[in-house]
A and B are shown apart, each in its own frame.
Chain A
Amino acid sequence: MKLAAFDIPDDPQQLAEWLEHHLVSLDLGTLVAELSAVHPEATGGVSTLRDLFGPQRLQAVLDQGLTVLQPAELRRLLTRPKLLLELQDLVLFAGGSHWQALSDADARLTPSVLRGEKRLQRFLRSWRPEAGIQPARLGVPWYRQPLFVASATAAAVLLGVLLWQHLVPFGPGGAPRTSVATAAWGWSAPDALPQDLNAPAYLNRLADGANEWFAQRPESAVALADRLSAFRRGCTQLQLAENRPLGDSQRKWLLEKCRLWAAKLDKHLADVEAGRPPLDVRAEADETISRLVAALREEAAKS
């Protein structure tokens, strides 16, 4: 059991960032409990954030984050910890891109989000509408129902792929063919860089592609190096793509960012090759990629 409040930074300049991080994380309840124990008498008094800051300051917090507050205002929040819960609600309901980027960059949330995404996809795949709410399908023979047609097509395609893999086990030059599942993900996937979208949609698509990193959690050095290399290859493909949906300044921004991300990925790969514990390197790569995803989404939101 770790005491969350005791990691409070020594430097008051870092207080805003520290609190922001807790507001979008899963441990705000713990922090509030600890602060309430330390400042029991101060939990009364001011009853709402609006009383404490006024509507304009509050809106500035929602738009720009806690750095707009003076140190004395931050201290007032710390000594009235229940207001942090109210602030969290506001930030989550009505916070702008600053808060979205913070939330996207919190790597500790990622495992829960990924597990949830898999569960949701299973649910969506298995869900069928109730019979009474499908007017469009009434009177259509079973063999022409879209679900049957789709299933039959999928089965035919799967059979074709299996046959092709069985009959043609080697790629060009005699190299063993890599399975589709391991080769095509992230920015290397065939449809990862569609050039017919608008700028925000394209940037969000890039963020989705990068997020696929978290779909597998390699634990061995070899598996991690393989996954890092694949991500790094995707980074090259992105740099060499036309990126037509973006304007000149955004294209330049993306290329500059891409070079920085590539350098970081190279470092992670070098760390694995140098024998650093794979789980340590993976955690650092998670952080790099979370930030990368957040940067892309923030840029998309600005467009």
Chain B
Amino acid sequence: MAGTQSETAETDEALAQCIALRVESEQAMQAARSACSRLYQRHARKLLAFLATRVGKSDLEDVHQEVWERVWQHLPRSFHGGNFRAWLYQITRNYLIDRSRRRQMERLEDSRALPETRLRAPEELLIDQERLDALRQCLQALGEPAAGLVQARLAGESYPDICTRLGLKPERAHRLFHHAKEQLQKCVERACV
């Protein structure tokens, strides 16, 4: 990409620089707001996906908003050029760590600091444990050959390979998988209510 002046003006780093200069005049402030919106448009979708594996659904949009407010507030002092995307994810991680510590402290205060309480590591990824446990139990109840078929399908094996390995006819394998899916769906729904 040729490095003309106007092209450089569109890079993340140039937009970040524009935000850093916001206090110089009212025009600079307007340009900074616009630059922040541009950065948001570029990175919000991916940042939401990143956050979705780390915070619960009900908190997702609030946490996302907090991160962008931090971007605006901290950028002039703590972004020193370089890769904006890397900086964005670093301040997101820092925010998640702060948030996690704060919540742990609140929980500890609420529960009078029970020493055996296992606290989640700040960077631990959020996996839907309830769903995992429920599905594990429901699979055990499914029995063979359906459970083996589900395991093979969810490992990306093709029907012809599975049929050869498990000695099933293709129509039966399709029917079995469809039936197993319905059973598991109902079972998990019951377990997670």
Contact = CB atoms under 8 A, between A and B. Distances in A.
Nearest to A148: B26
A11 B154 CA distance: 12
Given A6-B181, A92-B89, A37 B135 contact: yes
A75 B153 CA distance: 10
B99 interface: no
A188 interface: no
7 contacts: A3-B185, A8-B156, A38-B155, A100-B46, A109-B45, A119-B65, A120-B65
Interface string A17-33: 00000011111111011
B68 A120 contact: yes
B166 interface: no
Interface stretch (A123-131, A224-232, A256-264): A123-131
A87 to B, nearest CB: 11
Interface residues of A, number: 75
Nearest to B50: A92
Interface in A96-148: 99-100, 103-104, 106, 109, 112-113, 115-117, 119-121, 123-125, 127, 129, 133-137, 146-147
Interface residues of B, number: 63
A82 B47 CA distance: 19
A184 interface: no
A113 B36 CA distance: 14
Shortest beta-carbon contacts, A-B, top 3? A146-B26, A37-B135, A75-B156
A48 interface: no
Contacts of A115: 61
B121 interface: no
A88 interface: yes
A161 B125 CA distance: 52
Interface of B: 1, 4, 6-7, 9-10, 22-27, 29, 33, 36-37, 40-41, 44-50, 52-53, 60-61, 64-65, 68-69, 72, 85-86, 89, 125-129, 131-133, 135-136, 139, 150-151, 153-159, 181, 184-185, 188-189, 192
Contacts of B128: 29-30, 33
A34 B131 contact: yes
A71 B156 contact: yes
Contacts, number: 184
A136 B26 CA distance: 10
Contacts of A8: 153-154, 156
A33 B69 contact: no
A146 B32 CA distance: 15
A133 B23 contact: yes
Nearest to B5: A198
A284 B172 CA distance: 35
A243 interface: no
Nearest to A135: B23
B90 to A, nearest CB: 10
A123 B69 contact: yes
Contacts of A11: 158
Contacts of B49: 23-26, 28, 88, 92, 103, 109
Nearest to B34: A124
A204 interface: yes
Given A92-B89, A116-B65, A129-B23, A124 B7 contact: no
B89 A93 contact: yes
Contact of B126 (A29, A34, A201): A29
B72 A26 contact: no
B40 A120 contact: yes
Contacts of A119: 61, 65
Interface in A8-63: 8, 10-12, 15, 23-30, 32-40
A120 B37 contact: yes
Interface centre among B27, B49, B156 (most CB of A within 10 A): B156
B1 A1 contact: no
B25 A113 contact: no
Contact of A36 (B4, B33, B132): B132
Interface centre among B10, B127, B129 (most CB of A within 10 A): B127
A303 interface: yes
Given A1-B189, A27-B52, A116-B65, A85 B46 contact: no
Given A29-B126, A115-B61, A146-B26, A39 B151 contact: yes
